[in-house]
Structure 1
């Protein structure tokens, strides 16, 4: 096997490893995104429930094993801020995911081109 062929095989392995890493990162991103999506839904539900309450209603927040009385307006504000934060994180994760998917496509294309080159060289040697 010629040194250029060995170099191409090594390059192919490196690109395949890089693709594997990108795919793992995409899977992690999907898991994290799923977690945030669930949290967003829960917090939106809490906000809807808080909106149903009258201004003088008692609201309690669980801190560890203890329920602590909390002002309704403060509770709504806290949940609203949490929703903003989670929404921002989801947007950030979407942007990262889009970037990783583009990298994945580019890496697959590079691998495919390199495989085709290797095959054409091998086919040329087989004919010779």
Structure 2
């Protein structure tokens, strides 16, 4: 019976770990979505620019003049990178959700084994 309780404890710890990893991945996805939106807005601003208008990039406390082609290339590169990171994060989230569901099933099985082996878990804790 102690063996089943130890397994149940181990499964619970793994389940909690997966939930924390999932929360971190979801937060990462939210940051990436915000960055994607910000860069998409910059890209829209580039489309509104007329020929000959200046583009400035904030570097620390200084605004530096930047070439339009270079600026567009930088933003497009960022959007491409963010898109790939979002795909990777989505895959990670899906994988973690599957692991959580599997672990949940294992916990249910272990609880059923504990109950079948000697009564309800509450009764076992009252004896100790």
TM-score by length of 2: 0.90
Instruction: List alignment gaps of at least 5 residues for structure 1.
Output: 124-128
Give the count of matched residue pairs: 120
Aligned match of 2:46: 50
Instruction: Kindly indicate whether residue 41 of structure 2 is the aligned counterpart of residue 8 of structure 1.
Output: no
The 8 Å contact of residues 55 and 72 in structure 1, kept in 2 or not, is answered as no
**Which stretch shifts more, 20-29 or 49-58?**
49-58
TM-score by length of 1: 0.90
The whole-number CA distance in structure 2 between the counterparts of 1:8 and 1:53 is 68
Aligned match of 2:30: 34
* Root-mean-square deviation over aligned CA pairs: 1.2
List structure 1 runs of 4+ shifted beyond 2 angstroms.
Answer: none
Name which of 20, 23, 42 aligns with 1:24: 20
The whole-number CA distance in structure 2 between the counterparts of 1:8 and 1:121 is 9
Structure 1 residues 1-128: aligned runs within 5 Å:
5-123=1-119
Instruction: List alignment gaps of at least 5 residues for structure 2.
Output: 120-128
